[in-house]
Amino acid sequence: MNLILVSNSLAKTRSITLGGWQIMLLLMLLSGLMLGAAFTLQYALVRFAPEGLSDDIRTLLSEVHSDEQQKQQTYLHSSLDAMAIRVGQIQAQLQRLDALGVRLAKLTGMKPEEFKFSQPPAQGGPLIVSPDQKISENDLDQQLDMLTHVVSDRNDKLMALETMLLQNQLSRKLLPSIPPVHTGFYSSNFGWRIDPFTGSSAMHEGVDFMADVGTPIYASAGGVVDYAALHPQYGNMVEIDHGNDIVTRYAHASKLLVKVGQVVRRGEKIAEVGSTGRSTGSHLHFEVRYKGIAQNPVRFLEKTTS
């Protein structure tokens, strides 16, 4: 294709020769300009003169807008559902923590109602708003993740604490910590004394409780009976093994109520007070031994009678 340019300012005409690819490039450029102009005009009509649109264009734009809104709503609902599930999981963990807190309070001797586990903590203070700090969906998701990990970690640690408290409580139950009789008083303490039969100084390896014949004798701690029979000096005696090399003896009983090998609980009735064996009257001789060596029982008892 040849183009001839004619101008008054030029002394002669000029001729421009265009090849096939040049013509195609020119056509594409013109097409692009026309499309750009059309889109610009369409945007101007939608933006500034929507009443000038045809019904078909209005319908098409409405469908596009509705599809976009539907996608946004679907994404929003799915995000809210996921967060609701996670919040429900955290609430369930908090309920377990509340129940665990009540159990720990009981184990430590505190009153659960003082902590009000079933009520949210009281909060208050002046309102100070920071407009620059807005929580995005991503920030909220991260905070939920962190809260989930923190609650799970606290639950594991409190469960370990409960296990330790239960072990300590069990260990205390295996120590001779309650008096073997509920009535009576000390007639002879632990230590050196004048023997009532020989009149010479002798070691008294327990404490004597004055009590009437038939008074119930209770196990000072839980354990296994390893002796329940008549002894030449102790008379009718019960010996209980509490584990950890701790043994208690209950001597001079009038009646034995347990047998060898029997498991007894702390506070369980095991015999009745009497005056059998080497005894001058009705009483209970009570001993605590650790690794075979006599210990002062008063050191172990929570309560003493006088």
Per-residue pLDDT of the chain (306 residues; tens, 9 = 90+): 555 656 566 556 666 666 666 677 777 888 778 877 766 766 665 555 555 556 666 666 666 667 677 777 776 777 777 777 777 777 777 777 777 777 777 776 666 666 666 666 666 778 766 665 566 667 777 777 787 777 777 777 777 777 666 666 656 667 888 899 987 677 788 888 888 888 888 899 999 999 999 999 999 999 999 999 999 999 999 999 998 889 999 999 999 999 999 999 999 999 999 999 999 999 999 999 988 999 999 888 854 443
End-to-end CA distance of the chain: give it in Å, rounded: 132
- pTM of the full predicted structure? 0.51
Q: How far apart are CA 80 and CA 63, in angstroms?
A: 25
pLDDT (0 to 100) of residue 304: 43
Burial class from Cβ neighbours inside 10 Å (0-12, 13-18, 19+) for residue 277 reads middle
Residue 237 · residue 227 · CB < 8 Å: yes
What are the E-state strand segments in 78-205?
Answer: 185-188, 191-194, 201-204
Residue 204 burial class via C-beta count within 10 angstroms: exposed 0-12, middle 13-18, buried 19 and up: middle
CA angle (182, 188, 189) in 5-degree steps = 90
Residue 152: the pLDDT is 78
Give whole-number Cα distances, 243 to 41, 74, 216, 289, 291, in Å.
Answer: 96, 66, 24, 11, 10
Q: What share of the chain is helix, strand, coil (3-state, %, to 5)?
A: 40, 25, 35
Residue 305 is predicted with a pLDDT of 43
Asked if 209 and 250 touch (Cβ cutoff 8 Å), the reply is: no
Separation between Cα atoms, residue 102 and residue 243, nearest integer Å: 31
Q: What is the per-residue pLDDT for 248?
A: 96
The rounded distance, in Å, linking the Cα atoms of 82 and 141 is 10
